[in-house]
Amino acid sequence: MSDINMPLVSIIIPVYNGANYMREAIDSALAQTYKNCEIIVVNDGSRDDGETDRVARSYGDKIRYILKENGGVSTALNEGIRNMKGEYFSWLSHDDVYGPNKIAHQMSYACDDTVVMCGRYLINSKSERLEDVRDKYRFQEEKDLNHREALIALLQQGCFNGCALLIPKKAFDDSGLFDEELRYCQDFLMWIRIFLKGYKLKCIVNKDVQSRVHNAQLTNTRRDLFHSDCEKLGAAVMNDICRISNDQQNILYYFAKYNAIYDNPSVVKECIARGKNCKLFGLYEIWKLQMIGLYGRIRPIFRKIYYAIFKRVKVKLRGVLL
């Protein structure tokens, strides 16, 4: 079968003030071995004297380019989804990079009721590979998860990297678009909604995404948004999570545990109240959540101390090696 007869994949690249990295991202999308792709770059009202606009326009008709007023990454993604022609959606952040076989590997497993997730590794601002211990344990083997198992995995891992996913367009028709009121947890809420609609998850081992870590990212500059977003997210999904939870797959407990680890006490309190009413939480579960919540409060302090010590040791070791 020729590429032109294979399903079209829409690679959507939202960008805001991204001229420093976006060329590498666009080039990686154009270099895909799966050739039936359209590349949609959505400029979310960048304020960089037109530099992002100039980079995007330099690609001519190799990409589809949309310039819009600034509204946040959710609005940019939604604009891309509304304009996509493909049967499958693939998100590429303007500061991340795809391996050449990312789409080809995922499309070999593509199905209209399944989200396909590949592996990733981290790179720094200079595109140098970083060691990420957490990723070593995520993709050791292929996994097929039903929607309940996918939700549990999502809550245990603390959100999936959006750029590692290939999502059927139909999933957005069923679940709606990204919540434009959220600035931090919009992807987390979207994945929860998709799995609540019954979509399955296929995990593959290929590490086909290079995820960049740098100081200008929203996750590093606006942590204050996280807690308010978690409260809104909890209000949006709590009823459905309670509905599909049971003794064998107590998704409400995993949702409460996630929020306890990340110090969202109001969400945990609501989960405990719902869990007691639904007979999903006994005294032992409540006690565990209280202990985890205590850890969640002191966790940021330990992390700061750990990384401060780690950086000093790393600097000393570098001096010895040199």
| pLDDT higher than threshold 60 for residue 220 | no
The bridge status of strand 114-123 relative to strand 200-212 is parallel
CB 210 within 8 A of CB 97: yes
Which of 98, 43, 97 shows the shortest CA–CA distance to 69? 43
**DSSP letter at 111?**
B
Q: How far apart are the first and last CA of the chain?
A: 55
Residue where the block lists tokens 């109240």: 273
- In this predicted structure, the answer to whether residue 316 has a pLDDT above a threshold of 80 is no
pLDDT band (50, 70, 90) for residue 209: very high
Residue 239, both tokens: 């009823």
Neighbours of 82 (CB within 10 A): 10
300 pLDDT above the threshold of 90: no
Q: Where are the domains of the chain?
A: 3-214, 223-321
11, 47, 66, 87 from 69: Cα distances, Å? 21, 10, 10, 27
- The string of pLDDT tens digits covering residues 247-299 is 999 999 999 999 999 999 999 999 999 999 999 999 999 999 999 999 888 87
Which position has the higher pLDDT, 300 or 89?
89
* Residue 251 pLDDT: 97
Pairing of strands 143-145, 200-212: antiparallel
The tens digit of pLDDT for each residue in 34-45 reads: 999 999 999 999
Percent of the chain whose predicted confidence (pLDDT) is above 90: 77
Helix (H) or strand (E) holding 39: strand 37-44
Fold of the CATH domain 3-214: Spore Coat Polysaccharide Biosynthesis Protein SpsA; Chain A (3.90.550)
Model-wide pTM > 0.85:
yes
| b/e map 186-196, b = 16+ CB within 10 Å | bbbbbbbbbbb
What is the pLDDT of the chain when averaged over all its residues?
89
Residue 60, sorted as left (phi over 0), alpha (psi -120 to 50) or beta, turns out to be left
pLDDT in tens, 151-161: 999 999 888 99
Comparing C-alpha atoms, which of 181, 185, 177 is closest to residue 160? 185
* Residues pairing with 140 in the sheet: none
The closest alpha carbon to 271, from 293, 299, 248, belongs to 293
Q: Compare 220 and 215 and report the one with higher pLDDT.
A: 215
Q: What is the mean pLDDT of residues 109-123?
A: 94
